């Protein structure tokens, strides 16, 4: 960190479920990191990755389920 920031910094890693929100206590896999003050969060859990892919695929899923059909007008 000193090389990147120019300051001497201390880092500490603790593995604990005590301070996790209820939604993050049962993650399937991956990594969920949070700073001690909760300002910086890095959620690279399998759950968050699946959620991200699902949201990206929603337009394609909608298009498959509800294809656009031409409406012919009768005058």
Q: Which tokens in the block code for residue 24?
A: 């993050």
- Residue with the bigger pLDDT between 11 and 45: it is 45
- The number of angstroms, rounded, from the C-alpha of 69 to the middle of its chain's C-alpha atoms is 35
Residue-range domain boundaries for the chain: 2-65
pLDDT for the residue numbered 55? 94
Q: Is the pLDDT of residue 47 over 90?
A: no
Average pLDDT value over all residues in the chain: 80
Largest CA distance in the chain: 78
pLDDT average, residue stretch 55-69: 89
Q: Is the pLDDT of residue 66 over 80?
A: yes
pLDDT for the residue numbered 58? 93
**How many Cα atoms within 13 Å fall on the side-chain side of residue 8?**
0
- Residue with the bigger pLDDT between 72 and 30: it is 30
């Amino acid at each position: 960190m000193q090389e990147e920031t120019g300051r001497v910094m201390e880092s500490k890693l603790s593995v604990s479920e005590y301070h996790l929100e209820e939604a993050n206590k049962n993650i399937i896999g991956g990594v969920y990191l949070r700073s001690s003050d909760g300002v910086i969060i890095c959620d690279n859990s399998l759950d968050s990755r699946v959620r991200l892919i699902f949201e990206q695929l929603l337009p394609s899923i909608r298009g498959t389920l509800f294809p656009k059909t031409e409406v012919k007008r009768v005058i």
